[in-house]
Structure 1
């Protein structure tokens, strides 16, 4: 298990989209160089002043590349510290060499686990440990102080790892959201095509029946088929373009909702009379619920047109309550049995379940086929006056 974890760490890639140099980098550089000048000028007991100033300036400049070259900056910075400690061990000065401004090197410790790959983190961590060991050898401080210094040195690294873990988790969550959006778009594409193709089939059947007795009606049916086919192609192109460009941040047109239920009134052939009634504040539903209500009504009406025997009317009722919205679609046709649920009805059940609601469909007590759905709003609302369109 440990070996697998180490292998996973070693092969971990760099986080994507490391930000370019921003104003904070230049502000950090300015503050660092300013601190070096002030300390070098005012501090009297600086050992090897020129070397200490050069090292401090070097450590202030390196963070400019900490995101794009995390391992290189760590190796250059802490390698310089190791060389300085070796020189200190040989020359044995009375006081420690270096400026306090060199604490800016902690920024590189943070950047290594934040922006480095797994291999860079391991190698860079080894270099940092080597630099700390070199400092511990040349420093005669008590063990307790050196332990505190070790914690102080590696604490920024833990912070960088925590920030990276949080960003990675958020990226995975966003990827899941995008995947779910694409799944919903695919479902929208299926529902749209199924509805329009059903309408085309019904028009074609009507035209074939009327072709011998009423040629003008047959021509009208062909015109309707042409119109329906063009609309289907248009909506399919829009959906497919959205699926292709979704990852690039393409904006989508809002899906059909309750306000578009009047489309259901334009049934092909006029065989069924559609009665659509709205009750409550149906114009302020959440977008996902709004689209789901339309698709439930659309699929139910399409099924009634295709399967309801001797049906003359379909009644659609949408009622928005305080915390939920109810959808009811009923026809007065004859049914031979419950029948097999197709992809459309299964998709409606899945859509309702994703929104935290439920959907039931089956033959009515007396006649016809009934579809009842209940979707939570997830917000407070209030009732309104009913509207009805025929």
Structure 2
């Protein structure tokens, strides 16, 4: 089992989307260089002052690449420390060589498990341990101080590993939410396509029966088959992007839609007054869009009930235009915490993206929380258009 764990660690890839540099990197560099200047100017009895200053400046510069090249910067930084200690062993100075500002290397210890691959973590850890062991031999520190120094050196690495694990767990949860939303959408699309195909078969059978006796009725039946086929192709293009887990059974109840919004907004207890406005032709929406509108309003109402402090009103607007359906949900309360999207909004954003639309959620300019979505009534650019029935 230990061998399997080590093999898993060795093959662990780097975390995706590591930022090259952020604003705090430059703040860290400025603070490090200022510390080097102050320590070099004010501290007395600095051994090999020019060498110590150059080494400290070098170590302050390396963290700029700690996310994109974690193993390289660790090797360069602690390799420099090793070279300095080897020179100390040869020259045998009375005091330790270097400035206290070189403690900036602890940032690299943190970055190695946070942003490195498994192979980089193992190799970089070996370099760090080698530098620590050489320092302990060079200065012949007592065992208690060596243990304390080792703990002090490894704590940033443990913190980096913990942050990485938490971020990975969060991403895994988000991916599960997206997968469940794709699965739910795929079930709805499956039922819709099955309905259209059944209608096509019935119309084709009717056209075949009427072909000899009533050619005009047969042509009308074929036009109906063409219309149903166009709708089916439209829904199947959306199915390509959805993933369905075959282990999960389809739900027997049909998905709720715009027609169910009146019942939805009757909030329990009457704490929030919900102002529901429906505008445009909302009776003939594609089933997937119809269900998505209901889900957006449902999640927004639930979030308002849970998180909108001192809210008294919730305004819900659903407007159908020629090519799009717009959904807007706004409350007048105030939010506690960071205001970060929950897993429900993540799933809705995934659903909107799969349908070719967008969803935005965030605090209002004055107060409250706003959710705005725009969904296409049908896939554009498919090259297939439905004819109206006669």
What band does the TM-score fall into relative to the shorter chain? 0.5 to 0.7
Task: Look up the match of 1:23.
Answer: 23
- Report matched runs for 1:349-368 at 5 Å: none
Task: Look up the match of 1:281.
Answer: 263
Task: Look up the match of 1:266.
Answer: none
- Report matched runs for 1:1-390 at 5 Å: 1-211=1-211, 214-240=214-240, 242-243=241-242, 257-259=256-258, 281-282=263-264
Tell me if the contact between 2:203 and 2:221 (Cα under 8 Å) persists in the aligned partners.
Answer: yes
- TM-score normalised by structure 1 residue count: 0.60
Tell me if the contact between 2:63 and 2:108 (Cα under 8 Å) persists in the aligned partners.
Answer: yes
Superposed CA deviations along residues 26-66 of structure 1, whole A, max 9, x for unmatched, are 11111111111111111122221111101100100111111
| Higher mean C-alpha displacement, 48-57 vs 172-181 | 172-181
Tell me if the contact between 1:71 and 1:112 (Cα under 8 Å) persists in the aligned partners.
Answer: yes
CA RMSD of aligned residues (A): 3.0
Q: 4+ residue stretches of structure 1 with deviation over 6 A?
A: none
1:10 deviation in Å?
2.1
User: Within 1, Cα distance between the matches of 2:190 and 2:28?
Assistant: 55
Tell me if the contact between 2:48 and 2:97 (Cα under 8 Å) persists in the aligned partners.
Answer: yes
Partner-residue secondary structure (3-state), 2:79: helix
User: Within 2, Cα distance between the matches of 1:122 and 1:135?
Assistant: 20
User: Within 2, Cα distance between the matches of 1:95 and 1:221?
Assistant: 97
1:280 deviation in Å?
5.4
Counterparts in 2 of 1:6 and 1:37: CA distance versus 1, 3 Å: same
1:213 deviation in Å?
5.6
Counterparts in 2 of 1:109 and 1:279: CA distance versus 1, 3 Å: closer
1:68 deviation in Å?
1.7
User: Within 2, Cα distance between the matches of 1:87 and 1:165?
Assistant: 39
Superposed CA deviations along residues 285-338 of structure 1, whole A, max 9, x for unmatched, are 9xxxxxxxx79x99xxxxxxxxxxxxxxxxxxxxxxx99xxxxxxxxxxxxxxx
1:99 deviation in Å?
1.0
Tell me if the contact between 1:15 and 1:116 (Cα under 8 Å) persists in the aligned partners.
Answer: yes
Structure 2: unaligned runs, 5 residues or longer: 244-253, 268-286, 292-300, 303-390
Partner-residue secondary structure (3-state), 2:106: helix
Equivalent pairs counted in the alignment come to 263
User: Within 2, Cα distance between the matches of 1:12 and 1:194?
Assistant: 43
1:7 deviation in Å?
2.2
User: Within 1, Cα distance between the matches of 2:121 and 2:238?
Assistant: 45
Tell me if the contact between 2:183 and 2:242 (Cα under 8 Å) persists in the aligned partners.
Answer: no
User: Within 2, Cα distance between the matches of 1:39 and 1:143?
Assistant: 29
1:182 deviation in Å?
3.3
Tell me if the contact between 1:258 and 1:282 (Cα under 8 Å) persists in the aligned partners.
Answer: no
1:284 deviation in Å?
8.1
User: Within 2, Cα distance between the matches of 1:138 and 1:50?
Assistant: 21
User: Within 2, Cα distance between the matches of 1:103 and 1:198?
Assistant: 72
Counterparts in 2 of 1:188 and 1:150: CA distance versus 1, 3 Å: same
1:137 deviation in Å?
1.6
Tell me if the contact between 1:258 and 1:283 (Cα under 8 Å) persists in the aligned partners.
Answer: no
- TM-score normalised by structure 2 residue count: 0.60
Counterparts in 2 of 1:94 and 1:2: CA distance versus 1, 3 Å: same
1:122 deviation in Å?
1.5
Structure 1: unaligned runs, 5 residues or longer: 245-254, 262-277, 286-293, 299-321, 324-390
